[in-house]
Structure 1
Amino acid sequence: MNLRQLKYLVKIVEAGNITRAAELLHVAQPALGMQIRQLESELGVDLLIRHSRGVEPSEAGTLLVERAREILSLVDAVQHEISSLAGSSREYLNVGLPTSVMATMGPRLILAAKQRIPELTISFTEDLSYALADMVAKAELDLALVYQDEEKQQPTDTLLLCEELLFVVAPDQAPQQTQLSLADVLGWPLILTGPRDSVRRLLESAAQRLETPLEMAFEVQSLAAIKHLVAQGLGAAILPLAVMQDEVEAGKLATRRVVHPRLTRNLHWVKAAGRPERKQESAFIDLLKEMLAADDADDPHGDRQRRSTQVRAQD
């Protein structure tokens, strides 16, 4: 058994397909298959269950993948520690940002990090919040910003801010009142993202509590597509003001606050379990907190309908 075989096995299980894994690893498919067969022969057990749709791990394969991730994470940690002893000052971070954060502050954060922490090389990944959380759990990312349910919090998670969510609709469909009850909002045909999205889960939970059906006009994974559909009058949505500020100011979208209760979601900073903290990591997190706080202070709306910031001092 060697590290390359463990890396290959993890990637195959994550891809669910040997052909796709070979493409991601830039390895010939026959060579990849041979490495896995050698590993299975050495251990005397089948690690993959092969079927027409691809592959999935056997019970033994699932256990080995879990241990392989721990091993590969430990090897990465050792490499960083040895590099530090050797006098190398450059460090590397793989950071995940949800689409809403990347849209509002991503380019500024990337530039500011490069200027303020030149000895830190950061690879940024943009994806949906739940996908980033999965990548952190798999140690594919060191750190990520995610919108997370309270019951799913881990000891390593840090609350950065509580963000208010607004009802958004085409201007010619906007209700006269400036505030809507949550029950009123649930009566509109809504354009929502997939079932694992934080806003979707929040609304489904609220609908269940209020014993009100949740009417979904469309299920769309693209933020840009959601805003376009809303602007066309094909449904309403629930979004933070930060991601639609330009459209609201241009008169393409109209917003209303949601009350009784307010709709909010919590943005957390999550870390891969068992990974060592980089020397420059705290400097990057401090920079992120500063930028989030500055964005909130510059909010043009005096009622703070953009964000209710709860930036904390702890890491």
Structure 2
Amino acid sequence: MDLKQLRTFREVAEAGSLSRAADRLHLAQPALSRQIRLLEAEVGVPLFARHGRGMQLTEAGSALLERIDGPVRQLEGAIAEVRSLAGAVSGQVALGMMPTISSVLAGPLARRVARDHAGISLRIVEGYTGHLIEWVQRGVTDATLLYGPAPALHLRVMPLLIEEMVLVGAAGSGIGPEAVPFVELAGQRLVLPSRQHGLRRIVEAAAGRAGIALNVAFEADSFGVLKELVESGLGQAVLPRSAIRVEEAAGRLRVAPLVRPVPRREVVLALPPDRVPSRAVTVVLGLLEQEVALRAAAGDWRGMR
């Protein structure tokens, strides 16, 4: 078993057919087929089910892909790192983010990378806390943002920012700009994420401190759907202000600060404890900190570094 076989296996699994994988890798299809046969012979079980429409992973193939994806990425990154030592920084960087943070940071960060470091390929991986932790531990991502505090994750965790949540309503809701005591949310129709979502836990904790029960009329884990439901007048939401700046500026949403208590969330940067970040990862994380500082200066967040 060698790196070439594992990379071929990964590409065929992602493409779903030998022909598409051959086009991606610019290699002849028989050469790829031979690599797959050699790997299956070494593993001792079929990794793909062949059919007229392509190739589908078997149960064993799915298990192998899950286990080699991170290590293969790390080996590829190590090779790219050594090759680039004498020149400009280059390589692939995968960064995990929660959807509400991604909607604010992903675009500006990608533009900074493209402008300043054309040799770096950035991949933003969206997910919720459980998946983000698993991906960075397995090496699928190089670093990830998480809701803090996160002291017991067996990761290197660094505080990044604190963000306050605000009450968000439709254009005709009449809320804001005056602050709203959290207790006044009792009985209001609310639009919130489901209970496994980190933002929902923050809102419920604030409701507990205010001594009220929440009236959740609609649940949606998609941030875009949440904003659409609020714009339609189906309820109010508690969201980070930074993530609805565009709709607020356009007059499509209204916001009001929440007080007694103020719902806040801490966001941390987490990295694997046993891997040294590549030059490309270090550069991207530096640009990330610059973007966070810029948003903190604009009043959206409070920086912690």
- Normalising by structure 2, we get a TM-score of 0.71
Give distance in 1, aligned partners of 2:93 and 2:297: 28
Question: 1:184–1:222: structure 2 CA closer, same or farther, 3 Å change rule?
Answer: same
Change (3 A) 1:203 1:114: same
Aligned to 1:22: 16
Three-state SS of the structure 1 residue aligned to 2:279 is coil
- In the other structure, the counterpart of 2:82 is 82
Deviation of the 1:238 alpha carbon: 1.3
**C-alpha distance in 2 between matches for 1:41 and 1:214:** 58
1:1-315 alignment, distance < 5 Å: 1-3=1-3, 6=6, 22=16, 26-27=20-21, 42=42, 68-69=68-69, 71-84=71-84, 87-96=86-95, 97-115=97-115, 117-118=116-117, 120-125=119-124, 127-130=126-129, 131-148=131-148, 150=150, 153-174=153-174, 178-185=178-185, 187-206=187-206, 213-272=213-272, 274-299=274-299, 306-310=300-304, 312=305
AA partner of residue 198 (structure 2) = S
Aligned in 2, Cα 1:9/1:213: closer, same or farther, shift over 3 Å?
farther
Any conservation in 2 of the 1:129–1:145 contact (CA below 8 Å)? no
- Structure 1: 5+ residue runs without aligned partners? 13-17, 49-53, 300-305
Query: What amino acid is aligned across from residue 121 of structure 1 in structure 2?
Result: I
Equivalent-residue separation in structure 2 for 1:245 and 1:70 (angstroms): 36
The CA distance in 2 between the partners of 1:256 and 1:121, in whole Å, is 40
Q: What are structure 2's unaligned runs of at least 5 residues? A: 23-29, 49-55
Q: Distance in 2 between matches of 1:5 and 1:177?
A: 60
| Contact 2:177 2:257 (8 Å CA) reproduced | no
TM-score by length of 1: 0.69
Residues of 1 paired with 2:17 and 2:144: CA distance? Answer: 25
SS at match of 1:163: strand
The worse-fitting range, judged by mean Cα deviation, of 212-221 and 161-170 is 212-221
Contact 1:136 1:271 in 2 (8 A): yes
Closer, same or farther in 2 for the Cα pair 1:128/1:25, shift >3 Å?
Answer: farther
Q: 1:140 aligns to what SS in structure 2?
A: coil
| Alpha-carbon contact 1:7-1:68 (below 8 Å) kept | no
- Structure 1 residue 262 displacement after superposition: 1.7
Distance 1:204 1:100 in 2: 18
Deviation at 1:143, TM superposition (A): 2.8
Q: Percent identity at matched positions?
A: 25
Runs of 4 or more above 6 Å deviation:
8-12, 31-38, 45-48, 208-211
The offset of 1:95, in angstroms, is 3.7
